[in-house]
Amino acid sequence: MSVTHDQMMQELDERPFLQRLGAFEWIWALLVVAGSIYAWWHYHTLMDGYEVAILAGTAIALVAWGWCWKPVRPYTLAVTAISLFAVWLYGTDIGARDSNFFLKYLIASQSAIMWMSALYVLATLTYFFATFTRSEFSGKVATAMTWSATVMGTVGLMVRWRESYLVNADFGHIPVSNLYEVFILFAVITALLYLFYERKYQTRALGGFVLLVISAAVAFLLWYSFDRGAHEIEPLVPALQSYWMKIHVPANFVGYGAFALAAMVGVAYLIRNAQEQRNPQAASGSVLPSLEMLDDVMYKSIALGFAFFTVATILGALWAAEAWGGYWSWDPKETWALIVWLNYAAWLHMRLTKGWRGAPMAWWAIVGLFITLFAFLGVNMFLSGLHSYGEL
Amino acid sequence: MNSPAQRNIPSRGTILLEFLGSMNLAITLLVTVAVASVVGTVLQQNQPYQDYIIKFGPFWHEVFKSLGLYDVYAAGWFLVILAFLVISTSVCIYRNAPNMVREMRQFRTRVQAVSLRNMHQVQEWHADVPVDALEPRYRAWLRQHGYKTRSADHDDHRLIAAKKGSWNRLGYIFTHTAIVVICLGGLVDGQLPVRVKEMLGQIQPETRDIPASQVPEISWLPEGNPSFRGNVTIPEGGRAGIAFLQLRDGYLVQPLPFTIELKDFRIEHYVTGQPKSFESDLVIHDPEREQPVEATIAVNHPLIYEGYAIYQASFDDGGSGLSLTAWPLSHPTLDTQKVETAVFESLEVETPAGRQTLEFESFRPFNVNPAPEDSDKQFQNFGPSFTYKLRNAQGEAREYENYMLPVELEGRKFFLSGVRENPNQPFFYLHIPADPAGSPQRFLAFNALLRDEARVREIAAETVRQTFSELRLQEPGMVEEVTATMGRLVRMFARGGFDGIVEQVEATVPEDRRMQVIDAYMKVLRNILSALYAEVLRAEGVDISEGISERDSRFYEDTLNAVTALPLYGSPFFLQLESFEQVQASGLQITRSPGKSVVYLGFTLLMIGVFMMFYVRQRRIWVWLQPQLEQTQVILAGSGERDRRDFEREFTQLYQGIRRAGESG
């Protein structure tokens, strides 16, 4: 396994955590805190106590995230700069998205999302190209494309947030309220998780696989937008008007994203496994990482997903207790969340206590994605219930 | 003393415990619960039995019913599986937790060199420093890196045992305890007492739709019922001291120790017409208190009163008053009738098709729809509407939806009235053109005239005579014949519209002559119809000496279309809404769930536990120090169970660090 010089130096650093933080870390923290205070100062009249707490929590999480994983900083700064530019271009007129050049072709939410879509699909192809030609340069291009797509996707969400207020002040809400919006969130979160592992494990060979699932999400998004006009900003139904939405939905999508990533790593695992069984010698020269490493990524990803999914489901239950009159009603969405949870709980038990490894676990992770997909999409499509916010 | 053979035979209890706490059982149960849960999401739960019978047929209905598939999550077998999951988890905790707690505390200062050398990560070296000087340096370094250390002297060596991340084990205990706690808390809120009483036959759900006061004793729950989840709808100004609990195909009545009065209900809408918010001003009258308690609840903002939670769940009509005018559609005279009624009331009416029942179902004060493309506005308000059902003696009903105000479509105004035979169909709309006075009067007058055979004959005769004299035709027999044909055609048209005439021709005329006959009929029919229309206009006082205006002739076309659609409309009258008095009702959900705090405790344990388990990494390090003259032989060994890869890297780092720490003094 290759480890960069930077990483090595970082790990050999023996100073306690806080002393290890340099000037840049503190500047980062300062920027985030200043930005959050500005946001609070500007909008506190519109926020209730919980929302102020969520803002503070987000700021703390963002500082910590930027400290633990450096690329978060340029990513956040780029998103902030572009989003603010778009907000400034808009002023108070939603019509600007058709008249202003930058908005119309680049950074109005719908345009940004189209850029995101194009870049993710291109990045998928480039990753595969880089893997099969073993081209270092193409790999770097693919990574850059993925980062750009992720920035554009996040900008799309941020600008959409603002647009919802411009369309009609009554409509304004965080864009995680329907299937269209959460699909963008899904693509962005899955990509971020992948980029984290790409850097941590210093391999781009998984890029194509993971971005395949993101491309599938993009394909759905485009169909949903062009065929169903799902990108239109709609007002919130009363049940969704709650601060819970701001934490329940993103937590859920960290879970979904991680499960999707694990499944795609599972696919890579099975391919590598088949190669090794056919020809153990030649497999050492495979373009795919070692089985051991793939297994490790798969486990870590499922563990992360499971932890967040647990929190998300519990937050959902707390919200349900406030909105629907009971923390658990065996509503189809709730029940399917439980099924997904039980499935991964069984997977983790198998691995941690029975020590299962190898192809069966990879297959299971792939099946898990389909179960997750049903919980996420199928329930909305085929089953009725309280949780019908994104009907197809 | 027991012989070894005897000692090895475990008792039945041990075997049972072994089985219940086994991982295989646990995983099997996890998967079984998941699969069983699917059933309840695929099969819609707690629907009226009638729906299931229609869907599955009587045989499968009985099978599914006896398996409890209509209420899976309360079915005995499902609860048994859940109980097993709880037992299995409890046994698992019982067997493992004490060891884990012990292990968390223990440092394991008695480890042989052989075992150390067999560990996943080992390094050995010689340090030029004596043991006594080395030990504090190593321990200080380890402490600085988050390890807790303990050292012990043995015969020929000293062993430093260090560990960190013991909380990982606590994570295990937390998560597994959480599952048990959540399930037990859930059980408390799971209406268990109600289920037991039902099984014992002490209570029985009521299936008829009758007022609460008429519900027999056996369907009432005791007032002190500790956990339930019920609903009640209260009209503005009304009060309720009960809630209804859905139970399979019926309901139970839950009395409350207080009454809830709905003082006011407010609803706000977005410009799209979707509800933006709704809230109720409640007054709780509790005999235990002197002063009533006032509170406002809204979606996402319930009221918790004395352990009872009151939620804003829905809204409905509270029996709005409706003033209607009934216009006959199948009578030759236009005798209107005034009707004063209200939503949820019903009336008996005599119709040509026998006695029928009018059931008034709902009222909407406005209907916002997307505006047509060419309009500058995004949305268009169609105004108030109400719905009702017309039920015949056989119990079959048609549902109608009438708008109060004429709606503008393509520049003309129409009274819309929708009809459908079952709730899954879209409405088919009758478009009654509104006359210049904004009333359906002119259309209805024309329609009545069509059915007045004597008047039609008179007008037909007059028309024919006029035409003949204009054309200077002198065939006395023809006048009678054409007049009779006109009368017959008008009758057919009034009964079946243009289609009725075409059908009649198709049934009686040979194929090769049909087109010709239809053409001739239509010409004759048009003639008499326009004469009838002219008569209606004249009666209304419209001056048609200069011909009929474009607007009036457009109205005529719309009128004919509407008459053609009447047979599909299927009602002998048209109900026009003249005025209304809206009364709203608020749908409340009332719950009592004492297990909630227990469940929330479980949630907290689960969240903390999961993160501890995955992100607190357990590490154990041993440093074996054996004096060799002035030097020391060092064995550094460690284990990191779950993430060997990460531990490998960490260990390299640790080795370099600790070795350096020993050398620099």
> Per residue in B46-96, pLDDT tens?
777 888 888 888 888 888 888 888 888 888 888 899 999 999 999 999 999
Position B20 scores a pLDDT of: 85
Task: Give the pLDDT of residue B6.
Answer: 52
Distance CA B360, CA B371 (A): 29
For A233, name the nearest residue in chain B, comparing CA atoms only.
Answer: B272
Question: What's the average model confidence in pLDDT over A188-216?
Answer: 95
Report the largest interatomic distance among the alpha carbons of chain B, rounded to a whole angstrom: 151
Report the share of chain B in percent with pLDDT over 70: 98
pLDDT at B646: 82
pLDDT band at A161 (very low <50, low <70, confident <90, very high): very high
CB-CB under 8 Å, A343 with B653? no
Does pTM surpass 0.80?
Answer: yes
Q: Which residues of A touch B591 (CB under 8 A)?
A: 325-326
Say yes or no to pLDDT of A140 above 50: yes
Confidence band, pLDDT 50/70/90 cuts, at residue B335: confident
Please report the pLDDT score of residue B432 as a whole number.
94
Higher pLDDT, B360 or B17: B360
Helix/strand/coil for B324:
strand
Residue with the bigger pLDDT between A60 and B120: it is A60
Using pLDDT thresholds of 50, 70 and 90, give the confidence band for residue B605.
very high
Tokens representing B398 are: 């048609």
Q: Is residue A170 within 8 angstroms of chain B, CB to CB?
A: yes
Per residue, the 3-state secondary structure of A94-136, as one string, reads CCHHHHCHHHHHHHCHHHHHHHHHHHHHHHHHHHHHHHHHCCH
* pLDDT tens-digit readout, B521-561: 888 888 889 899 999 998 888 888 888 888 888 999 999 99
Q: Which of B82, B297, B300 to mutate to test the interface with A (most CBs of A within 10 A)?
A: B300
Amino acid B2: pLDDT = 45
The DSSP annotation for B215-237 comes to S-GGGBPPTT-SSEEEEEEEETT
Query: CB contacts < 8 Å between A and B, how many?
Result: 130
Residue with tokens 């991340």: B165
**pLDDT category of residue B648 using cuts at 50, 70 and 90:** confident
Average pLDDT over residues A239-268: 95
For residue A312 the two structure tokens come to 């998300």
Q: Does A324 touch chain B (CB under 8 A)?
A: yes
Question: What CA–CA distance (Å, rounded) separates B117 from B109?
Answer: 15
Cα–Cα dist B45/B41, whole Å = 8
What is the average pLDDT across B610-631? Answer: 90
C-alpha dist (Å) from residue B562 to B421, B523, B532: 19, 19, 16
CA–CA separation, B655 vs B402, rounded Å?
A: 84
Tell me the average pLDDT across A348-362: 89
Q: How confident is residue B581, by pLDDT bands cut at 50, 70 and 90?
A: very high
Token code pair at residue B188: 């408390």
What are the residues whose beta carbons fall under 8 Å from the beta carbon of B260, sequence distance 6 or more?
B232, B234, B239, B240, B241, B282, B283, B284, B285, B310, B588
Q: Parallel, antiparallel, or unpaired for β B379-381 and B385-391?
A: unpaired
Q: What is the mean pLDDT of residues B113-123?
A: 90
The DSSP element (H or E) to which B134 belongs, if any, is helix B131-144
With cut-offs at 50, 70 and 90, classify the pLDDT of residue A3.
Answer: very low
Q: What residues does B409 pair with on adjacent strands?
A: B412
Report the chain B residue with the minimal C-alpha distance to residue A337.
Answer: B34
Measured CA distances, B238 to B234, B259, B315, B319, B581 (Å): 6, 10, 14, 11, 16
Pair of tokens at residue B30: 């996890």
Whether A130 shows a pLDDT value over 60: the answer reads yes
Please identify among residues 146-165 of chain A the ones whose CB lies closer than 8 Å to any CB of chain B.
none
Which letter does DSSP use for residue B410 in this model?
T
Helix (H, G, I), strand (E, B) or coil at B293: strand
Please report the pLDDT score of residue B516 as a whole number.
87
Query: Under an 8 A CB cutoff, do A314 and B144 touch?
Result: no
Task: Tell me the per-residue pLDDT of A224-237, one tens digit each, with 9 for 90 and over.
Answer: 999 888 899 989 98
pLDDT band, residue A10 (cuts 50/70/90):
low
Task: Report residue A1's pLDDT band, with 50, 70 and 90 as the boundaries.
Answer: very low
DSSP B358-377: EEEEEEES--EEEPPTTSSS
Burial track B214-233 (b if 16+ CB lie within 10 A, e otherwise): ebeeebbbeeebebbbbbbb
ipTM exceeds 0.90: yes
Residues of A in contact with B228 (CB under 8 A): none
CA distance to partner chain A, nearest, from residue B99 (Å): 16
Mean pLDDT of A256-272: 96
**A383–B contact, CB cutoff 8 A:** yes
- In A3-32, the residues whose Cβ lies within 8 Å of chain B are 3, 11-12, 14, 16
Q: Answer whether B270 sits within 8 Å of A304, measured CB to CB.
A: no
CB contact under 8 A, B271 and A330: no
State whether B596 and A327 contact (CB < 8 Å): yes
- The mean pLDDT of A189-212, rounded to a whole number, is 95
What's the pLDDT at A388? Answer: 63
Please tell me the predicted confidence (pLDDT) of residue B3.
Answer: 47
The confidence score (pLDDT) of residue A389 equals 62
Is there a contact between A342 and B34 if contact means CB atoms under 8 Å apart?
yes
Q: Do B603 and A317 touch (CB under 8 A)?
A: yes
Cα angle value B301/B304/B306 (rounded, 5°): 175
| Mean pLDDT score, A247-259 | 96
SS3 content of chain A, % helix, strand, coil (to 5): 80, 0, 20
Q: Is A202 on the interface with B (CB under 8 A)?
A: no
Phi, psi of A4, deg, nearest 5? -75, 160
High-pLDDT (> 90) share of chain B, %: 42
Displacement of CA A17 from its chain's centroid (Å): 27
Is residue A28 scored above 60 in pLDDT?
Answer: yes
Nearest-Cα distance to chain B for A184, in Å, is 25
Q: Are B638 and B649 in contact (CB under 8 A)?
A: no
Tracing tokens 């963002």 back to the chain, one arrives at A62
Residue B445 pLDDT: 92
CA dist., res. B338 & res. A120, Å (int): 67
Chain B residue whose CA is closest to A304: B614
Cα nearest neighbour of B183 on chain A: A328
pLDDT band for A187, please (50, 70, 90 cuts): very high
C-alpha pair distances (Å), A96 with each of A151, A157, A161, A173, B417: 22, 17, 16, 20, 42
* For A238, nearest residue in chain B (alpha carbons): B277
Q: What local confidence, expressed as pLDDT, does residue B650 receive?
A: 87
pLDDT band at A378 (very low <50, low <70, confident <90, very high): confident
* A338: chain B residues, CB-CB within 8 Å: 33-34, 37
Task: Return the bridge partners of B385, or none.
Answer: B364, B403
For an interface test with B, give the residue of A234, A352, A367 to mutate (most B CBs within 10 A): A352
Average pLDDT in chain B: 88
Q: For the segment A276-301, what is each residue's pLDDT rounded down to a tens digit? A: 888 877 767 788 899 989 999 999 99
- C-alpha to C-alpha distance for B159 and B151, rounded to whole angstroms: 5
**Beta-bridge mates of residue B356:** B349
State the first-to-last Cα distance of chain B, in angstroms, to the nearest integer.
58
Packed helices B644-663 and A291-323: angle between N→C axes, nearest 10 degrees = 110
pLDDT band at B262 (very low <50, low <70, confident <90, very high): very high
Judging contacts by C-beta atoms under 8 Å, the chain A residues touching residue B47 are: none
Reply yes or no on whether the pLDDT at A386 is more than 70. no
Q: Which residue, among B348, B305, B340, B294, has the nearest Cα to B319 in the 3D structure?
A: B340
Nearest to A235 among B44, B274, B596 (CB): B274
Q: How far does Cα B520 stand from its chain's mean position? A: 57
Strand positions, DSSP E, B292-384: 293-298, 303-305, 308-317, 321-328, 337-342, 346-351, 354-364, 368-370, 379-381
Reply yes or no on whether the pLDDT at B159 is more than 90.
yes
